[in-house]
Chain A
């Protein structure tokens, strides 16, 4: 068992860290167009996409290292990157036809287009198969009606992977995935949600009102949409796990520097703070190993359902726990909005919720555990 990053992975991680620290501005309010432009300039918006389609052809672990480093500086930019790649670009890569890839994947990889993903609805959150958006077969394609909720990069993205059902009686087997370009008649985005955190990332409703799509915009097969959504779960979860890891690191590194500078370190009175940091840095190391292991398994083509869920649950729970404890350690100075700690704390909370809430992850982990025991 090898625990060392290859020289290539280590070099790229250093490159990402350096880039993030120099070029990424924390997005406190507006959608971070400039950050995305700079990442596109480096090829980061197509990092794990094959060169054939204009990407850099890097492995999944390298992409995970990028999300972690970007999220450490700006979690809003991190989630836009993760959604753009994990669920905006990968479905095209896995299921797209050559012409769909030519038309869309190339532009996503170059950053000319930003990708987004529209699955969630009011009545379909964790239970995604319960979605109500419909696709009606007509001459010349499909007509979509319905409303999606909590869409990252809503209104800002150029291409949406949208899920709708052609036949509700078929339940999950009636669900189809469609590629929807910004500007398609009948497509509209609602106002931006006013959120607790991730202020730079636009989150909106997405409405389809008699929106006509040509048959060429169906991704994969008719009725194959749910399978597409499921196949993206693991990659998506590992991506958010990396976001949690980046946030936890940001909070812990800034707090360790603060405590070290406080001069109380060597004293018996400073022990409470030191011990909290010791526990949290230990958990950070545990989280890192869980996240990187899941990424390595995915790269190796090994099953990683339980590894991805463990990574997501543990790393994102840690992001919340670490940022909350760090606020304690900064005391009043931590509450100032000039201190990025409040941003880390508010950004961290949603990582426990989206891409499968951590309660869903626990259901998956317990299921996998009981299944593995049954085999013995």
Chain B
């Protein structure tokens, strides 16, 4: 136990921070205004190796641990949470299930170009009737010769439309309920696979969120991930790690808001002195700082456990719950410290606050995390 970043982790932080400051931060406000995704930023992340940080070098990855990965999500989110969620969905939700459950051929064909940043990934689980209760899926996949025929709709899919590779969950055997769900790798451009409406959102506005529509979409049989019936297990285990990516995103948003608020409090003068001198403000900043640190430690701990091959379900649920709640509180207080200016779009804290909200909702709401955590703590 040391609580000190390794050289590799520290280098990852410096590299991603430099990239985020130089390439991501400058256009963040404009992209948010215009609800515009930047493929160029993702391409640049690919060239720097950010898109494959935790995957083995043989699949084009960086061969780093999951702490390095969450640091990358955190640093991107510190300036632009949309960029953070692009990477988080790409690595945790799309790359991870292929890495964990994919065949050698699937890893070569899909994980490698994703790791290299040549292709962007997405994850399609949620449906209109299956949100928190993922077992309520209605999308079906029927084996017909050498392919599965998919029918149904997915909603709220991050990176949709832009991504080339989708992990899609569908029911292959309705009788077996959760054991009758299977996971498929579906490529963009497959006949019968189209995109529905693009959501107009409160936050994460430069991260595209669309509907996926499958209308007699034929997916090659070899694109099933794992075995028929493995889908629910794959979906749930993917979310365990995905939660950690969202926790990192929340830590980054909170850190960004804290730094903005602290700097503003030092420069803004009222009653003849910087408002940071007033304890009403400085105590708020102190609590914000402590909570960001605590959230970061919980997040790195979950990533550490995953890297070590130890159970991390409880740790990642705690990290996600704590970090997302902290991010909402901290960004709200950051707007408060900025006062009227904070409410305007001339300063980034209102964007941080809008972006923070979704971290309490997606990849398992805070309520779901509490349910998961309470199962662990009441077991003993």
Contact = CB atoms under 8 A, between A and B. Distances in A.
Interface of A: 1-6, 9, 61, 256, 259-260, 265, 271, 274-275, 277-279, 281-283, 285-287, 289-290, 292-293, 296-297, 300, 302, 306, 310, 313-314, 359, 361-363, 365-366, 369-370, 373-374
A9 B294 CA distance: 22
Interface residues on B, range: 35 or more
> Chain A interface secondary structure, helix, strand, loop or mixed?
helix
A293 B373 contact: no
A258 to B, nearest CB: 10
B290 A6 contact: no
Interface string B316-331: 0010011000000000
A3 to B, nearest CB: 5
Given A281-B318, A293-B3, 18 more contacts: A1-B9, A3-B305, A6-B1, A9-B1, A271-B371, A278-B369, A279-B321, A285-B298, A286-B295, A286-B322, A306-B289, A314-B294, A363-B279, A363-B283, A366-B283, A369-B262, A370-B262, A373-B266
Contacts of B276: 366, 370
Contact of B374 (A275, A293, A306, A310): A275
Contacts of A260: 378-379
Interface in B1-50: 1-6, 9
Contacts of B300: 1, 3
Contacts, number: 139
B282 A292 contact: no
A80 B304 CA distance: 36
A369 B1 contact: no
Contact of A265 (B1, B378, B380): B378
A5 to B, nearest CB: 6
A359 B283 CA distance: 8
Nearest to A252: B377
B289 A274 contact: no
A366 B285 contact: yes
Most chain A CB within 10 A, of B9, B294, B367, is at: B294
Given A278-B371, A281-B377, A4 B1 contact: yes
Interface of B: 1-6, 9, 67, 258-259, 262-263, 265-266, 276, 279, 282-283, 285-287, 289-290, 293-295, 297-298, 300-301, 304-305, 308, 315, 318, 321-322, 367, 369-371, 373-374, 377-380
A240 to B, nearest CB: 16
20 contacts: A4-B304, A6-B1, A259-B378, A271-B371, A275-B374, A278-B374, A281-B318, A282-B321, A283-B322, A286-B322, A289-B294, A292-B1, A297-B3, A306-B289, A314-B294, A362-B287, A363-B283, A365-B290, A366-B276, A373-B263
B308 A4 contact: yes
B294 A286 contact: yes
B109 to A, nearest CB: 34
A265 B2 CA distance: 37
A197 to B, nearest CB: 25
A302 B3 CA distance: 11
Contacts of A282: 298, 318, 321-322, 373
A363 B2 CA distance: 27
B370 A275 contact: yes
A297 B4 CA distance: 9
A89 to B, nearest CB: 24
Instruction: Point out which of A9, A271, A310, A369 has the most chain B C-beta atoms below 10 A from its C-beta.
Output: A369
A114 B226 CA distance: 64
Contacts of B293: 290, 310
Nearest to B288: A369
A286 B370 contact: no
With most chain A CB atoms within 10 A of its CB, the pick from B2, B9, B300 is B2
Contacts of A302: 4
A292 B3 contact: yes
A10 to B, nearest CB: 10
A296 B374 contact: no
Given A275-B374, A281-B377, A362 B283 contact: yes
A330 to B, nearest CB: 15
Q: Please name the 3 residue pairs, one residue from A and one from B, whose CB atoms are nearest each other, closest first.
A: A366-B282, A278-B370, A274-B374
A21 B373 CA distance: 26
Contacts of B279: 359, 362-363
A278 B321 contact: yes
B174 to A, nearest CB: 26
Contact of A313 (B290, B295, B380): B290
Contacts of A256: 377-378, 380
A283 B296 CA distance: 13
A328 to B, nearest CB: 16
A4 B258 CA distance: 29
Contacts of A300: 2, 4
A281 B322 contact: no
A210 B308 CA distance: 63
